[in-house]
Structure 1
């Protein structure tokens, strides 16, 4: 790998390790986690800190830098659908008392770009802090891949006994999703957690994102009511974005 590409790859790997579960790392912990010499990791951290993407908060300790917030704001500001979709997501969470979220398709990866911060109650559900979701085992993932006409992701590990893992299962599931225009999962990512998802569309019928709900499986007894609220919220945003 050319040195420039290797340097960028190293920077991405370092930044990706900082998340809500681990917002601060020490140099020694990072070197141990990556299996790399301390000098190599220190060089990467120093470069990122100089660029404002990381902040040094103590002797050999680092956190994400404020410049990432500027980049994040610029990204969201460049997406015309994000603001109305985010507002609809928060209203949906308050109305259902469930965790609501927005997902997008990035190649063959399904990324959760926003989660509701208010309105939900009840027991925790799987993936409350995950950025990348298992595309074959979540409602949003299955919906976005199916509407994009993509095949079963590989690998497709069996996360529970209900996870779809074969091309035959995937073909049947995607045909159903395209026919009904929404998706659900039941205990496919983790036993006890289920989800619902509906597409947010723009002009020309383009699929922009998936609006979803994550819920404890027992609340699937409210499936029809929850699905109606979800579809109404997604349709409202889609209409505002020019989908007819």
Structure 2
């Protein structure tokens, strides 16, 4: 079995679980794990001093956090006094590829649908204020796109993020409106709660969303939501094509294909029983 193939069965019991250190509160733990967000392609390494200055924390706290993150393998020492992302992340990535239910249910469905799309399939999972691509399957090798596995996208732009956003619970949508009113307005989703809710209601009614050039110029995405339980959206399936290819397609066919794939993956979460369809009938 290829190590990227989702593995059925129980999760291995020899995987270290993160533990809360004595005297560490939930907020301290969250702040420590938040250090990982500092590491990007543009800025892959940080020193203790740089981290402490950037986050306005004491050096004693910074050293303690970095020591714990290094001990678990989430960070690793680099040149000089710098730190980089650690090998434990690769271990967790392999484990996710083999055990994540979204991948376990989704990858076989996508493989069966490959002959029906000249473009690319993207399977995405929702977390926090983002949607993250966890699987990519390209059937058009000529495509050039920034949409790829491991790339997070905000909920306000793109086919998959918008369709996930539309099916989030009302309390989460209200919180998003309170935290990100400028981004929501800039994305054309409304300047008020009423406008925001009305635009998302239209997406829910359609059940899919088509986005043209919102992530990459010259690219089109068609997305449908995936549910792990009735009304509980977990992610989305996206069908991506070049605009040139999309102009030769029937958008209704692509919408139907995205909905069918999403429904099959959603059904997998209930063992093939009741379809956990969160869309309105």
TM-score band, normalised by the shorter chain? 0.7 to 0.9
The more displaced of 134-143 and 23-32 is: 23-32
Equivalent positions of 1:61-72 (< 5 A) are 61-72=82-93
For residue 127 of structure 1, report the CA deviation from its aligned partner: 8.5
Contact 2:123–2:135 (CA<8 Å) still a contact in 1?
yes
Contact 2:52–2:62 (CA<8 Å) still a contact in 1?
yes
2:201 maps to 1:179? no
The runs of 5 or more residues in structure 2 that have no matched partner are: 1-22, 276-281
For residue 67 of structure 1, report the CA deviation from its aligned partner: 2.6
Contact 2:155–2:161 (CA<8 Å) still a contact in 1?
yes
Residue correspondences, number: 240
CA–CA separation in structure 2 for the residues paired with 1:146 and 1:173? 8
Aligned to 1:235: 263
Contact 1:101–1:116 (CA<8 Å) still a contact in 2?
yes
The Cα RMSD (Å) is 3.8
Aligned to 1:58: 79
- Give 2:124's match in structure 1, choosing from 86, 98, 102: 102
- Give 1:114's match in structure 2, choosing from 120, 129, 134: 134
Aligned to 1:10: 31
- Give 1:207's match in structure 2, choosing from 230, 233, 240: 233
Contact 2:131–2:235 (CA<8 Å) still a contact in 1?
no
TM-score calculated relative to the size of structure 2: 0.65
For residue 10 of structure 1, report the CA deviation from its aligned partner: 3.1
The runs of 5 or more residues in structure 1 that have no matched partner are: none
CA–CA separation in structure 2 for the residues paired with 1:162 and 1:54? 35
Aligned to 2:188: 163
Structure 1 residues 164-200: Cα deviation after superposition (integer angstroms, max 9, x where no partner)? 1333432332222222221233455676665321122
Q: Secondary structure at the match of 1:137?
A: coil
CA–CA separation in structure 1 for the residues paired with 2:133 and 2:217? 24
Contact 2:120–2:137 (CA<8 Å) still a contact in 1?
no
Structure 1 residues 184-241: Cα deviation after superposition (integer angstroms, max 9, x where no partner)? 3345567666532112235656533211245555655343443333233223323444
CA–CA separation in structure 1 for the residues paired with 2:132 and 2:162? 13
Residue 25 to residue 115, structure 1, CA distance change in 2 (3 Å): farther
Aligned to 2:168: 148
- Give 1:135's match in structure 2, choosing from 144, 152, 155: 155
Residue 216 to residue 205, structure 1, CA distance change in 2 (3 Å): same
Residue 51 to residue 79, structure 1, CA distance change in 2 (3 Å): closer
Aligned to 1:83: 104
Residue 115 to residue 32, structure 1, CA distance change in 2 (3 Å): farther
